[in-house]
Amino acid sequence: MKHTPKDFTLEEKFRLLAGKDAWHTEDLGGKLYEVTVSDGPLGVRKPAEKDGKEYDLPSIAYPSAEVLSQTWSPSLAYTVGECLSDDCIEKDVDILLAPGVNIKRTPMCGRNFEYFSEDPYLAGVFAREYIRGVQSGHVGTSLKHFCANNREYGRLWVSSEVDERTLREIYLKPFEIACEADPATVMCSYNLVNGMRMAEHAPLFKLLRGEFWREDGVIISDWGAVRDRAASVRAGLDLEMPFSQSGLENLRAAYARGEITEEEIDRCVERVLALIERCEREKPLRAVRRSKEERLAAAQRVAEEGIVLLKNNGILPLKDGCSVSIGAEHAFRYYSGGGSSRVQTETTPRTLCETLKAELPHSDISAAGVWDGDTFRDAYRNARFRDAAIVVCGYEDSEGDDRASMRLRENEERLILETARCNPNTIVVLHYGAAVDAGPWIDQVAAVVSAGYAGERGNEALAGVLSGRVNPSGKLTETFALSRESYASEHAYRSYRVSLYEEGLKVGYRDFDRRKEAVRFPFGFGLSYSKFEFSDLKIQTWGGVTLSFKIKNVSGRAGAEVAQIYLRETDSPVFRPEKELKAFEKVTLAAGEEKTVTVELSRDAFAYYSVSEGGWRVRGGAYEILVGADAEDIRLRGVATL
């Protein structure tokens, strides 16, 4: 049944703009459908209660957004979305509070593992396909956190001070792209932007609904983000979550004082009603499409394609029949990020020792816990006479806290160095949620694998990469610089109340390109067991540009390469980055196979935001087209004239 605000009393309207509790919308005693929401994006974290105690229902734990984006395969983001919709349907969830699309401005953000990239285009594309996948199952999403929430430190009170062009091109762009998928809701962030609390940010809400999304799109608060409920209603924030008695009383009092009108309340009520009716209408259409085992297999595939091989002197892949030691306590535990996205796994994750034995059944594989007071003698003894030694290092980044350092913990670095001294074929596996400073030990080891938070089937995927069953194809979606001090964001002004984005557009590779500063591993970097060559770039111009080129696998085994297309305006009267990612294509090739890749770039790909003209502008002139295997490894160059 379709309702309008006229069907409700003023008090009922007040209640409709507040959650019924932490996870449900108000149903007015059964008068309306009750919408159930649940945390994401790494799985469905639905709370339950038994014997008066709260717990989370077990759920499939998928690889983090960081690992998902490192596949460079948007179709896998869609697949993960489909799987999550099945999980939601089984748990009777109407809206999944995901995905997070905030930019990795700094490697120190404790929540980077939940976000896709330092690049706004790539982040937006992955979020868009994730949303489409979830909503294909008639389950809604909540695109978050709108906007400029790029650190956890002081997120409840810090003002992100960002100039208009930077806001448009870097921090709003992924929301703009993701909104092409029409998320059911958008969630506001805790922080302030340019001195105005996001829950009350009428100008940005107006921009969101007016340019990116629908006029009737529902904006919800992050949990506890509202300070002045009446002000947030006037700004256009529709639903405060969770239920807040003080928020309800604030709204009543403001109305009584004439500070907010019933017309303003009705606009929010109308949007909330539309959301409730949408969920009620779509619930009968929901049907589980994949079994749990099929979803676990999808999670494993994402991990296999998202694990990044950072260094390899030839020790990998391991050959069956070898002897391998696995050291560090981290080899015996499951790693995922902490906070609201952490789920209770559906199955008990297997250890790396178990999965590697399954991959290499004729090999001698042994694991040793290494913490023995201040020494690591078990690990060294185990590693010394082996063909290879694996050292597993891990740390759980988390919502609510920023990282203290890019370095590994001191005992981990010491373990790596001492193991490498005992065995030159030392392989380091990293379970971290963001960029790592590998400087103290990288030159001493034979191989480095960045596994991230790869989900509950992560060790199956990791063992596949180590054994060679899986040819690694993952590539970084953030820059691994030489140190924390290398990032411009780490030198920007920051106080208890203000975070100044003084680096402007120079975020991630855009900054390192401009300063010509060396990095440890560039944006887009990742090794393979195969080798690829690029050739024959051809460019045609129309309103936009069509380019084609060839990629050939010149090795003896099948593999996949990611072609990354960057643009550079050759003579701009305004500041433009040295290059900007505008397209990418992942290509799978058999041994010796060659394929032609064709990419179309619309005119919008060449645009910059003109503050003086109040909109996007494309200048006529010459643009360099750069086709690379990563941001530094540019294989082909050409010029297009618009």
Report which DSSP code applies to 252: H
Whose structure tokens read 């199955």? Answer: 347
For residues 106 and 118, the answer to whether their CB atoms sit within 8 Å is no
238 Cβ contact partners less than 8 Å away, ≥ 6 residues apart: 17, 218, 219, 220, 268, 271, 272, 275
Whose structure tokens read 């694998």? Answer: 449
Whose structure tokens read 């790029």? Answer: 150
Nearest CA among 180, 176, 347, 184 for reference residue 280:
184
Could you count the other beta carbons within 10 Å of the beta carbon of residue 498?
15
For residues 383 and 426, the answer to whether their CB atoms sit within 8 Å is yes
Q: What single-letter amino acid sits at 65?
A: A
Nearest CA among 191, 122, 101, 115 for reference residue 501:
191
Q: Which two tokens stand for residue 532?
A: 């690829």
Partners of 48 in the β-ladder: 55
Partners of 539 in the β-ladder: 547
Cα 342-345-349 angle, rounded to 5 deg: 115
User: Residues for the chain: how many in total?
Assistant: 642
- Give the whole-angstrom CA distance, residue 248 versus residue 417: 58
Partners of 499 in the β-ladder: 160, 494
- Give the whole-angstrom CA distance, residue 123 versus residue 346: 28
For residues 261 and 268, the answer to whether their CB atoms sit within 8 Å is no
Strands, sheet with 364-368, edge to edge from the N-terminal-most edge strand: 308-312, 447-450, 426-431, 388-394, 323-327, 364-368
SS3 state of residue 418? helix
For residues 608 and 164, the answer to whether their CB atoms sit within 8 Å is no
- Give the whole-angstrom CA distance, residue 549 versus residue 175: 31
Nearest CA among 523, 592, 583 for reference residue 559:
592
Q: What single-letter amino acid sits at 436?
A: V
Distance of CA 352 to CAs 357, 365, 540, Å?
8, 10, 49
SS3 state of residue 8? coil
Distance of CA 632 to CAs 9, 517, 521, 523, 578, Å?
62, 11, 9, 8, 11
Omega prior to 145 cis, within 30 of 0: yes
Q: What single-letter amino acid sits at 410?
A: E
SS3 state of residue 588? strand
The DSSP string of 104-145 is ---TT-TTGGGS--SSHHHHHHHHHHHHHHHHTTT-EEEEEE
Q: Which residue out of 222, 238, 511, 513 is catalytically annotated? A: 222
Distance of CA 45 to CAs 24, 255, 296, Å?
14, 36, 16
User: Is 297 buried (19+), middle (13-18) or exposed (0-12) by CB count in 10 A?
Assistant: middle
222 noted as active-site residue? yes
Rounded to the nearest 10 degrees, what angle do helices 292-306 and 74-90 cross at? 150
Q: Which are the catalytic amino acids? A: 222
